[in-house]
Amino acid sequence: MDVLLTSLEGVLLVKPDVFHDNRGYFTEIYKKSGYNKLQIERDFVQDNLSYSVKGVIRGLHYQVKQKQAKLIKVIRGEIFDVAVDLRPDSPNFGKWESFILSDKNNRQIFIPEDFAHGFCVLSETAHLLYKCTDYYYPGDEGGIIWSDPILNINWPVQDPIVSEKDKKLPTFADTFGNIRRREKPKE
């Protein structure tokens, strides 16, 4: 198993070992000891399965107090996955990075606490399996509208399918406007 660092500290792209033969392939989706070696030392308490059709955007979601880290894997299809840094003390506060996850590349993304998460379905359908470090609490939901002008995410879809709930999410400025991005020190 390999791990690739990303531009957002703590967000890790995981490349599990995949063993192919004439019958198909085998891969471990999660093995605590293996992930601990990658410095993903979390206790996951809830597994979720999400099914969506092409053009759906879900997100950008996070929990406010009952923060969740997530380990995300696409088991069927392909998505454009996005993590947004919501840590005010981070030099990457308000910045995002995207990843293509699919059943073909078998990659996983680890998104730590204090990040918003969203995705867009690129294939006809997609099934995502994701592990969370805390339970979902409906009263603790936070979110940023997918089309936020400050984040300016380059979603690879025109006329996305978005839930009524997600259409009403606040902007980044509405939620974090009083928090200034910490600038990287000049060398």
Q: Report which DSSP code applies to 35.
A: H
> Can you give the pTM of this predicted structure?
0.91
pLDDT number for residue 179: 65
Q: Which two tokens stand for residue 27?
A: 């891969």
Residue type, 31: K
- Report the pLDDT averaged over residues 39-53: 95
Main-chain dihedrals φ then ψ at residue 40, nearest 5 degrees = -100, 80
Catalytic residue selected from 130, 135, 136, 137 = 130
pLDDT at 172 over 50: yes
Q: Which has the closest alpha carbon to 34: 97, 108, 99, 105?
A: 108
User: 173 — phi, psi (to 5°)?
Assistant: -65, -40
Domains, the chain, in order of start with CATH, read 2-176 (2.60.120.10)
- Catalytic pick among 30, 51, 61, 127: 61
Q: Can you tell me the mean pLDDT for 126-145? A: 96
> What is the predicted pLDDT for the residue at 182?
47
pLDDT at position 178 over 80 = no
Binned at pLDDT 50, 70 and 90, residue 185 comes out as: very low
Which tokens hold the place of 182?
A: 């910490």
Q: Could you give the 3-state DSSP secondary structure of residue 176?
A: helix
Strongest mean pLDDT among 33-37, 54-58, 86-90: 54-58
Query: What torsion do the CA atoms of 15, 55, 157, 147 make, to the nearest 10 degrees?
Result: -90
Mean pLDDT over 4-20 rounds to 94
CA distance linking residue 105 with residue 114, whole number of Å = 27
Give residue 177's pLDDT: 83
Is 130 known to be catalytic?
yes
Cα distance between residue 144 and residue 81, in whole Å: 15
